[in-house]
Amino acid sequence: MRVNLTLQQLEAFEKVASLGSFRAAAQALHVSQPALSRTIRIAEDVLGTRLFDRDTRRVDLTPSGQELLPIARRILHEFDSAFSELSQFFDGRRGHVTVASLPSVGVAILPRAVATLRRRLPDVGFTLEEAPAAPLLASVDQGLVDFGITVEPPEDAPLRYTHLIDDPFVLVCRRDDPLARQKVAPWTVFTHQPFLRSAAQGSIGWILDDVMQRENIAVQADFEYPSVTAGGAMVAEGLGITALPRLATGLLGSHDLAIVPLQDPIVHRRVGIVSRHGRSLSPAAAAMVRYLIEEFSGEPKAAPPSGDEPA
């Protein structure tokens, strides 16, 4: 038989049992004594048994009341615990956040963000994923991750973009190359030396093609490399020079390479937070987005050498 006692009835019963007084229990529950007595009477009617033996001086539990008391306390404790966890989730203090990013951006931004948020929100878990731009946008669109950190998507993409940083492009050459002694270099430098191009599926290749076309710079790529690390190794072997966003230079490893700012024009890779239109972020994910916007909307710094970014 199912017993349809409400939480209010269980709480009223437990309070009277604990305090041994209807008057004290009514005061503790901030209800009138007649209202409390009515709640207990309804509970007894539902159960078909008396819960208290009472006279003008004493309130004692009946055998049925003694049997119910530990059950009521367990139910009330589990309810309070469950809703405490739910409240923490609503406040962003519990939950799990899954973020996808370009590896160069992830290395430069996410470790510090996660470390800070773990100190603030120790009960929130994090999963970090890496992907080139196109698969990353697909993961966000399909709801496989909470949000992504990547280049600005096309205007017709069904995604919401919040700008974080402008990541400037730089020239990457060997340290013994005469170009390494220059304070800045023009984009036309790639017409004078073998040009190494990043693979087509990543954000870097898209931007380089657009710059060359817009500035009417006729450049034929001598080689195409699949990742930033591979590109750095090819430059180090003297196969040519290339252009990378500054954040990506943290993935070049220990190669003896030089980094020279590019100008005429100055080109940035726009990087921000991408989420799906019409999909609300969890409170924990929203807290992480707020932190990223507050913390990393200034000038980006190169990431430490680590990992391997699909170009």
Domain that holds residue 234: 166-268
Q: CB-based contacts of 309: which residues, under 8 Å, 6+ apart?
A: 102, 103, 104, 130, 202, 227, 228, 229, 248, 251
Q: Are residues 149 and 290 in the same domain?
A: yes
In the DSSP assignment, the letter for residue 237 is: T
Q: In the prediction, which pLDDT does 304 show? A: 32
Task: Examine the pLDDT at 3 and tell me if it is beyond 70.
Answer: no
Q: Are residues 259 and 275 in the same domain?
A: no
What's the pLDDT tens digit per position in 152-183? 888 888 899 999 989 999 999 999 999 999 99
Residue 103 domain flag: yes
Q: Are residues 197 and 59 in the same domain?
A: no
Residue 104 domain flag: yes
Residue 198 domain flag: yes
Cα torsion 132, 138, 144, 145: sign: positive
Q: Are residues 231 and 200 in the same domain?
A: yes
Q: Are residues 280 and 160 in the same domain?
A: yes
* d(C-alpha 116, C-alpha 153), whole Å: 28
Give the predicted TM-score (pTM) of the model: 0.63
* d(C-alpha 259, C-alpha 22), whole Å: 79
CATH number at residue 18: 1.10.10.10
Q: Are residues 230 and 249 in the same domain?
A: yes
Q: In the prediction, which pLDDT does 299 show? A: 43
Q: Are residues 170 and 259 in the same domain?
A: yes
Residue 115 domain flag: yes
End-to-end CA separation in angstroms for the chain: 65
What's the pLDDT tens digit per position in 246-274? 988 888 876 789 999 999 889 998 999 99
* d(C-alpha 226, C-alpha 199), whole Å: 5
Radius of gyration of the chain (CA): 32
Q: Are residues 236 and 119 in the same domain?
A: no
Banded model confidence at residue 85, pLDDT cuts 50, 70, 90: low
Cβ atoms within 10 Å, residue 51: 24
Number of domain units in the chain: 3
CB contact at 8 A, 273 and 154: no
Residue 301 domain flag: no
Q: Are residues 280 and 147 in the same domain?
A: yes
CATH number at residue 247: 3.40.190.10
CB contact at 8 A, 199 and 311: yes
Residue 132 domain flag: yes
Q: Are residues 261 and 288 in the same domain?
A: no
